[in-house]
Amino acid sequence: MKRTTMVWAPIIALFSILLPSCSEEDDYYPYYSYDSSIYSDSDKVYMSEMILFIRPYIVENGERKYIITEKIFDLRLKINNFWSGSFDSYFFDLSHLNPQDQNDQYFLSKEAIPYPFSIEISTVPDELLTAGDYSNLLNNRWNLQPGAYITQIQSFYIRTIEGKDILVTTPSLIVPLEIKEGVASVNLGTFDIEIK
């Protein structure tokens, strides 16, 4: 009798551990949450993305001509003088493009070429391995709450035909930004910027 109890006791203990994990829902596992948010359990939506478009141009003989390049990169952005970042526009494949015009530095077009930027305001790294990684994430995470902000586009780089990177500073490009409740993405606007 004692021997039978010794055999059945571990089986019953194992069964009692596994039994609570049985569920009719296929995606249920008692020790794992599919919600990746470690920040809050509320259903509030915070702004996480800002989009904007830059259309660089030059003026030749009194006529505006838009620059054609693969991308605009290292765009420096500041919000309320305390958040900044550096971002690249989407990449344009120029291999199928027949430029209408060119000068000694750029391919040019009479049509406006908007370079789109998708700027993530708060991001989560793909891999968090240590407690320090989680601590840094929580300490550095910043969400824009509903309200009014001042956005400054400080500078960006544009590449010439010869591969030279030209710094374009835009210290006076200041734009109001209004975040509304429950909005995850906002369009900052389209900006025509003269390259001199």
Q: Is the pLDDT reported for residue 1 higher than 60?
A: no
Stretch 54-79: mean pLDDT: 93
- Name the residue with higher pLDDT: 37 or 189: 189
Total Cβ atoms within 10 A of residue 88: 15
What are the tokens at 152? 């400054």
Q: Output the pLDDT for position 3.
A: 58
Q: Are 195 and 56 in contact (CB under 8 A)?
A: yes
Domain locations along the chain: 43-123+135-194
Per residue in 61-82, is it b (16+ CB within 10 Å) or e — as a string? eeeebbbbbebbbebbbebeee
78 vs 171: CA distance, rounded Å:
11
Q: Is the pLDDT reported for residue 4 higher than 50?
A: yes
Q: Output the pLDDT for position 156.
A: 96
Stretch 96-115: mean pLDDT: 84
Q: Output the pLDDT for position 36.
A: 43
Closest to 112 (Cα-Cα) out of 37, 159, 55, 69? 55
Chain segment 25-62, per-residue pLDDT in tens: 444 434 333 344 444 455 666 677 889 999 999 999 99
In CATH, the architecture of 43-123+135-194 is Sandwich (2.60)
At residue 171 the predicted structure's pLDDT band, cuts being 50, 70 and 90, is: confident
